[in-house]
Structure 1
Amino acid sequence: MPDPSTRSTEIAGTPLDPGELRQVDLYWRAANYLSAGQIYLLDNPLLREPLAPEHIKPRLLGHWGTTPGLNFVYAHLSRQVRRRGTEMMWIVGPGHGGPAAVATAWLDGTYSEIYPRVSRDAEGMRRLFRQFSFPGGVPSHAAPETPGSIHEGGELGYALSHAYGAAFDNPSLVVAAVVGDGEAETGPLAGSWSSTRFLDPVRDGAVLPILHLNGYKIAGPTVLARIPESDLVALLEGHGHRPYLVSGDDPETMHRQMAATLDTALDEIDAIRTRAREEGVTGPFRWPMIVLRSPKGWTGPAEVDGEPVAGTWRSHQVPLPGVRENADHLRQLEEWLRGYRPEELFDDDGRPRPEVVAQVPRGDRRISASPHANGGRLLTDLALPDFRDYAVDVPAPGADTAEPTRVLGGFLRDVITANPRTFRVMGPDETASNRLDAMFDATGRTWEAATLPTDRGLAPDGRVMEVLSEHLCQGWLEGYLLTGRHGLLNSYEAFVHIVDSMFNQHAKWLKVARTLPWRKPVASLNYLLSSHVWRQDHNGFSHQDPGFLDHVVNKKAEVVRVYLPPDANTLLSMADHCLRSRDYVNVIVSGKQPSLNLLPMDAAIEHCARGLGVLDWASSDEGGHPDVVLACAGDVPTLEALAAADLLRRHLPDLRVRLVNVVDLMRLQPDSEHPHGLSDRDYDALFTVDRPVVFAFHGYPALIHRLAYRRAGHANLHVRGYKEEGTTTTPFDMVMMNDLDRFHLVMDVIDRVPGLADRAADLRRHMEEERRRCRAHTREHGEDAPDIRDWTWPHRG
């Protein structure tokens, strides 16, 4: 093992004897043959007859350029696992490297075990080739259908964060994360290098990044492949790594380099673990990584139509695009495939010859069969304290206040205590700001970098992970969940948009995984969005955006859930429900500022179980048919709806008002559209078919219309919500700017209930005057009027 003070270097050495060299090369050639076959061949998988146009797929799809390098990496990782018994999984970061991930899983036998129809013989190989990027088949990237994968290869940037998420609390695991050089240009990947500062060698596994520099993206060069080697090494060393360089294009030389380098890197990982776990040495540690330079499209056609292909961007996708129509392309393809000498790789029945798979590990040690890549196999239930024990006392509805997320923090503190190795909370430096700081009574913030005497609460074994990158938090949590653990991400509501695309990919992953019987359910991805749009008093307009909800509900109904608990007790009930759930994305929006306590715990549980319901104590329809329905979803909209109901009760005592609170947003959809949806009969009984509905909503009003547009009473529905008006101002001025305030809700009722426009004209003018009064007060005093600021639900005798 090199001295820790030495600079990064290439490893000299030849650990492969001739037999080992032949084995690893046979495996690599076989994987390359299978990969190219997936892109091109519809039939004639073993080239038992001359290649003809009818053997070629009509649509050539897939990506060759990165594939041979991935096969090279996998062959050498498998050899190390077989030799050492290492527990290992891999992450395929370079985009559409699916041919490699599928080919190696088939060679290892995992693929045929999961999909018996794709057997490990000639007919199975034909089916393997035919299904790739083919209607009714499998995608061109490492998708949920791919054994050994937890990483959707259709989008770049998340490989390294997923790898670290998988390694946290997995002390025996090594995660080999292949990072493409195009991927390395993305913001999420650039931030992910900082993960070394959060990895504890005592408690966690190890990540071995393999930066695969093949020089090009889809149509141009990549940055890290073109900067001077000394700059690249300095950059990676600055991120806490010791990079080892493997570079070239001669297969024999590259095999020897890679074998020696992996030996060194894995020895170094073992040494770090020993020093930390047995000798008590504390970091920081410089973790090894590999920089692999190999030609793009390695072993593929060197030149096509007079243009260089291998080693250039032209090999990125399909190097020979006109095979069915162009006889010269067809000839080149046949020469390319026969160049792998398939007769040496597969027997007469199409099975891999024993010497080809001699280095493949056995059972679950096969990288493509790792149980960590099917995390539901390892998942255990959380030990959850009884959330009822944290309930806020509610002697009367709406009489006093609590800070909901502060109450939740006490519950999460004890979840952490009860699950010290299977639960983490992640977020961008906002845990205390979101009033969840009770967790710090039980744990610190995860930290492996330098500390100062002024620091507080930093710990290598901390269960709260904070870094000012929503991308990194999301990636860590996804990797953690997909390998069989539990967690929660808390964020300011406006900035969770940063991970819109990552949420997309995870939701799509869950949607597909749910259709695969061999993929076992994993813990849900739970978002807690606080510091929300209505209470960004000090941050202002830039921090005011509830649109993540609109984004979430676009996904498949069986995957997404959106909850807007109106008070502390409903938040506790919903949080317990979400932490117990599987295979969902749960979004909870809850404020951190003092809000009214509305429901005693038993009533809160019942209300959450129903997902919505009438607040009888705030209604005046006496169980009969109302004149108007005041609906609300979200804590601040509920406050304003209650205050509007109070005004109507005082000024229009004969008006029959029904107040409906919605906790589970998806209840508004028909039951034909969402599992949580209400039947038309139940919806109509609650909201009526012929009465005006004035709906005070947390987010953009159009979302409610989207969810309820098929309902019989939709024409009567009028929604108030956020309409892109905001600034640094008082809480009530903020709702007035968006016409969500109690006075505006009362005016909406007057305008929509037949006969009220004339009868309540004076009241409507009074409401307008009240709005002016409140605005003038804020402008003069810098705070809301006391009757607004201190309003509680009145309890009449």
Structure 2
Amino acid sequence: MPEAKHQDSTVRTEPTVLTDEELRTLDAHWRAANYLAVGQIYLMANPLLHEPLRPEHIKPRLLGHWGTSPGLNLVHTHLNRVIKERGLDALCVWGPGHGGPAVLANSWLEGSYSETYPDVSRDAQGMERLFRQFSFPGGVPSHVAPETPGSIHEGGELGYSLAHAYGAALDNPDLLVACVIGDGEAETGPLAASWHSNKFLDPVHDGAVLPILHLNGYKIANPTVLARLPEPELDDLLRGYGHEPIHVTGDDPLQVHRDMAAALDHALDRIALMQRTAREEGRTERARWPVIVLRTPKGWTGPAVVDGEPVEGTWRSHQVPLAGVREIPDHLRQLEAWLRSYRPDELFDTHGSPTSEVLACVPGGARRLGATPHANGGLLVRELPLPPLERFAVPVDKPGATLHEPTRVLGDLLEMVMEDSSDRRDFRLVGPDETASNRLGAVFAATDKVWQARIEPTDEHLARHGRVMEILSEHLCQGWLEGYLLTGRHGLFSCYEAFVHIVDSMVNQHIKWLRTSRQLSWRAPIPSLNYLLTSHVWRQDHNGFSHQDPGFVDHVLNKSPEVVRVYLPPDANTLLSVADHALRSRDYVNVIVAGKQPCFDWLSMDQAKAHCARGAGIWEWAGTNHEREPEVVLACAGDVPTQEVLAAAGLLRRHLPELAVRVVNVVDIARLMPREEHPHGMSDFEYDGLFTRDKPVIFAYHGYPWLIHRLAYRRTGHPNLHVRGYKEMGTTTTPFDMIVRNDLDRYRLVMDVIDRVPGLAVRAAAVRQRMADARTRHHSWIREHGTDLPEVADWTWTG
């Protein structure tokens, strides 16, 4: 290795000089990958061009994207070289939206694809299958996907590649994560924020991320911003982000090979020096990590002109440069000339297998990018050390006698998890500046918040080596955690309920990834993506309307039922039970909604475990007249709705003691669905036994009421179901007024019972009037005193 010197955060090395043989083999590999990429887009037969191309050799529908493929093939080829020469453990995140042809081509060349899918063998027959299956019914997608060996990033997830790369590098000190960033995705907000991830990367305990910004100039139909910036302005931008740019520019393949080899060696020498000085010499100041800026033409080596229009180096090469190959003879001739320009007879032997020259740069075994176990994290995952819940449970001698902040109780459990995993470093807590606000601050007794930028004397819990990650970007929190989980580690994302919507599209893709990977026998299950949503709608009275939105649950429950789970624990012990289950689970997205404000303790730990295992159940101690069939069911899901239902049950017990009332609490919201629609759903027999077939059900729900109707619409008793929940009546007010404004309050629930139980409208008219009067009195009281009614603020369960 050339001598490396450290001076003013800059590393200078003697330029890499490839031998003629190295240059020849690298070019051969690159040409082979390009040939395979073109073949996947166009061919369904005659893969090695043993006969002239005819229309019947061409796919009837031409789908795929050529424009980014030659650049990705170049990167893959040169990563192979440095991985093999340096003995690196590496992973690559392929960011460009439709780079599937390139990544599949390289996986097939290195042999990892045929090992994963033996029917796609590394010969002429397998090449034909590789071509035919691409973007074809019953085949594989046109982008990098779960089906692609070596991948942890869906090709359609524009904007999240760099965050995923950093997540993969966390607590992986021996791993190099290369990340190819397309210049289209570089325009997105999440990617722009992701450059700041280097302020959270610990060079001692984490691996390295090497961003490779691929500027080919165009998106689908427009130029890209970064490609049009003058080079000095782009350098200023990247240096401002904390990176040192290394440029590779050109369209002469041999010169670009030389320059790319030199750039990679320079970058890796720099990374090795930075890690060594941090790990062996204790260097703590933040240095500039390298970034490679690769400028090559879009559609490089493809048709230069088609039908008189320029194609190579323009937006016209983005997808299929020659669209009329079956119908237009000149297009067919151009395609054959294009394919033969790579000289396939030099690249593949008579059996269709890659020649030794093509494979000279390819590393062996698990060091191949398509075979790295880091891209199949379930192979590496270890069980999380979860302590017994009884150690953290709050004592409950009788329901509603004490109060605790549920998330603070959970924080004590998470502290122990952090402590017990400190040597393994495979658990992270992420959130947008809210760990302490969400009452999880106990974790700081076991670890700090990681921070590589300047630390001031007034800062608290900041350190170079922490495992709590906070940044005011939900996108980065999600991306980091996804990369961390996909490479076999565990974590929890804590977020204000209203703002988790920012990652709606990201969780969509992760759910789709999990659903697809579950169908692939070679993908091992990974730890679940766990959300803790707190500071929720009913306790955001001080922040107001902007902080009030419980709709993430609706969004998630629209997704694949085999993957998604939603829990609404009503107190501290049920939160502990649900969190324990979620942290142990695999291949799910678990959404837990729980409050951070003082909440009544309803269930002991044993009762909580049993109740959470059921998912929904009768709280007999809260109802009345158990010896006969209920006349009304009061149902609830969520901590505040549970309190209001129990308060309503108390009012009914006092004012209508003869009424038979059943109280049902739902923790697992999917239990309301039919068993045929969700694995946790109830059979009709179970549902009818719990809610009855023909009695009124007054359901107090944490979120938007129509979700409950959607989940239960097929049930026999659905016409009798009346749901109260959040109706977008938000403002800055008192806690109870938020509930009254949305008609979820105890008085409104009692009125609903009177309105819907046959015979009560006349018999209990006076009781209904008292309930309505209490609501009126509430409005007057808060405007005079600024606080809730004493009978509400001081309420306790007296059943």
Tell me by how many angstroms 1:324 deviates.
Answer: 0.6
Structure 2 SS opposite 1:647: helix
When residues 484 and 623 of structure 1 are mapped into structure 2, their CA distance, relative to the original with a 3 A threshold, is farther
| Aligned partners of 1:400 and 1:792 also within 8 Å | no
Quote how far apart the aligned CAs of 1:88 are. Answer: 0.4
Q: How does 1:224-623 map to 2 (within 5 A)?
A: 224-420=226-422, 421-622=425-626
For residue 413 of structure 1, what is the amino acid of its counterpart?
E
Instruction: Check conservation: 2:16, 2:265, Cα contact below 8 A.
Output: no
Aligned pair partner of 1:142 in 141, 144, 164: 144
TM-superposed CA distance for 1:163, in Å, is 0.2
**1:752 corresponds to which of 752, 756, 763:** 756
- Corresponding letter in the other structure for 2:441: D
Q: In the alignment, which residue of structure 2 is the partner of 1:5?
A: 8
For the 8 Å contact 1:180–1:212, the answer to whether it is kept is: yes
Query: For residue 15 of structure 1, what is the aligned residue in structure 2?
Result: 17
Partners of 2:110 and 2:793 lie apart in 1 by 67
Aligned partner of 2:118 in structure 1 is 116
SS of the equivalent of 1:356 reads helix
- Structure 2 match to 1:673: 677
Q: Secondary structure at the match of 1:369?
A: coil
Distance 1:4 1:470, change over 3 A: farther
Partner of 2:70: 68
Structure 1 letter corresponding to 2:623: S
Out of 787, 790, 793, the position equivalent to 1:783 is 787
**Cα separation, 2, equivalents of 1:378 and 1:743:** 54
Question: Quick check: 1:8–1:244 contact (8 Å CA) kept in 2?
Answer: no
The question of 1:184 aligning with 2:186 is answered yes
Separation in structure 2 between the aligned mates of residue 790 and residue 24 of structure 1, nearest angstrom: 76
Q: Would the aligned equivalents of 2:431 and 2:469 in 1 still touch at CA under 8 Å?
A: yes
SS at 1:622 equivalent: coil
| Aligned mates of 2:66, 2:14 — CA distance in 1 | 30
**One-letter code of the match for 2:553?**
L
Kept in 1: contact 2:9–2:287 (CA 8 A): no
Counterpart of 2:643? 639
Q: 1:611 to 1:229 in 2, by over 3 A?
A: same
- In 1, the alpha carbon distance for the partners of 2:670 and 2:606 equals 22
Q: Which residue of 1 aligns with 2:738?
A: 734
Distance 1:59 1:2 in 2: 55
Correspondence for 1:162: 164
Q: In 2, are the aligned partners of 1:8 and 1:233 still within 8 Å (CA)? A: no
Which segment is superposed worse, 492-501 or 346-355?
346-355
| Compared CA separation, residues 338 and 621, structure 1 to 2 (3 A) | farther
Find the counterpart in structure 1 of residue 28 from structure 2: 26
Contact 1:13 1:256 in 2 (8 A): no
Moved over 2 A (4+): 1-9, 11-14
Structural mapping, 1:685-724, within 5 Å: 685-724=689-728
Measured in 2, the distance between the counterparts of 1:518 and 1:786 equals 61
Structure 1 residue 8 displacement after superposition: 9.8
Root-mean-square deviation (Å): 1.1
**1:647–1:329 CA distance, 2 compared to 1 (3 A):** same
Residue 295 of structure 1 deviates from its aligned partner by 0.3
1:89 to 88, 91, 95: 91
1:767 is matched with 771
TM-score by length of 2: 0.98
Displacement of 1:775 after TM fit? 1.5
CA contact (8 A) 1:689 1:713 kept: yes
1:684 paired with 2:688, answer: yes
How many Å separate the matches in 2 of 1:342 and 1:539?
65
Letter in 2 for 1:199: L
Residue aligning to 2:663: 659
Q: CA deviation at 1:173?
A: 0.1
Residue 51 (structure 1) aligns with: 53
CA distance in 1 between partners of 2:103 and 2:45 (Å): 21
Q: Is the 8 A contact 2:159 2:186 kept in 1?
A: yes
* TM-score, L = length of structure 1: 0.99
User: Secondary structure of 1:25's partner?
Assistant: helix
* Alpha-carbon offset, residue 596 of structure 1: 0.7
Question: SS of the counterpart of 2:635?
Answer: strand
| Structure 1 residues 295-338: Cα deviation after superposition (integer angstroms, max 9, x where no partner) | 00000000111111010010011111111111111110000000
Unaligned runs of 5+ in 2: none
Q: Is this contact kept in 1: 2:5–2:11, CA < 8 A?
A: no
| Aligned-residue offset at 1:155 | 2.4
CA distance in 2, matches of 1:234, 1:451: 24
- Determine whether 1:126 maps to 2:134: no
Aligned counterparts of 2:782 and 2:266: Cα–Cα separation in 1: 67
Choose which of 653, 657, 661 in structure 2 pairs with 1:649: 653
Matched with 1:217 is: 219
Please state how far the C-alpha of 1:289 moved relative to its aligned partner. Answer: 1.2
Rounded Cα–Cα distance in structure 1 between residues aligned with 2:556 and 2:617: 23
Could you report, residue by residue, the CA deviation over 1:182-209 in whole angstroms, capped at 9, with x for unpaired residues?
Answer: 1000000000000000001100000000
Name the CA distance, whole Å, in 2 between partners of 1:66 and 1:193: 22
Between the aligned residues of both structures, percent identity stands at 69
Answer whether contact 2:245 2:291 (CA < 8 A) is retained: yes
Q: Residues 12, 312 of structure 1: CA spacing in aligned structure 2 closer, same or farther, 3 A cutoff?
A: farther
SS of match in other structure, 1:45:
coil
> CA 1:425–1:630 in 2, change beyond 3 Å: closer, same or farther?
same
Contact 1:89 1:176 in 2 (8 A): yes
Displacement of 1:13 after TM fit? 3.3
Q: Is the 8 A contact 2:633 2:698 kept in 1?
A: yes
**Structure 2 CA distance for aligned equivalents of residues 33 and 177 of structure 1:** 23
Q: 1:173 to 1:722 in 2, by over 3 A?
A: same
AA paired with 1:593? Answer: Q
1:592-614 CA distance string (max 9 Å, x none): 00011000111011000100100
Partner-residue secondary structure (3-state), 2:383: coil
Aligned-pair CA distance for 1:504 = 0.1
Q: Which amino acid aligns with 2:142?
A: S
Give the Å deviation of 1:623: 5.0
Say whether the 8 Å CA contact 2:631–2:659 is kept in structure 1.
yes
Pairwise CA distance, 1:3: 4.8
**Structure 1 residues 460 and 94 mapped into 2: Cα distance closer, same or farther (>3 Å)?**
same
1: distance between equivalents of 2:6 and 2:34?
37
Cα deviation code 1:38-82 (max 9, x no counterpart): 000011100111001101111111110001000000000001011
Tell me the CA shift for residue 12 of structure 1: 7.7
1:455 deviation in Å?
Answer: 1.0
Contact (CA 8 Å) 1:8, 1:242: kept in 2 or not?
Answer: no
8 Å contact from structure 2 (residues 218, 315) kept in 1: yes
1:624 to partner: Cα distance: 3.2
1:37 aligns with 2:35: no
Aligned equivalents of 1:322, 1:518: Cα separation in 2: 38
Give the corresponding residue for 1:197: 199
Q: Compared with structure 1, are the counterparts of its residues 575 and 6 closer, same or farther at alpha carbon in structure 2 (3 Å cutoff)?
A: closer
Please say if residues 272 and 285 of structure 1, whose CA atoms lie closer than 8 Å, have aligned partners that are also in contact: yes
Q: Displacement, 1:5?
A: 3.2
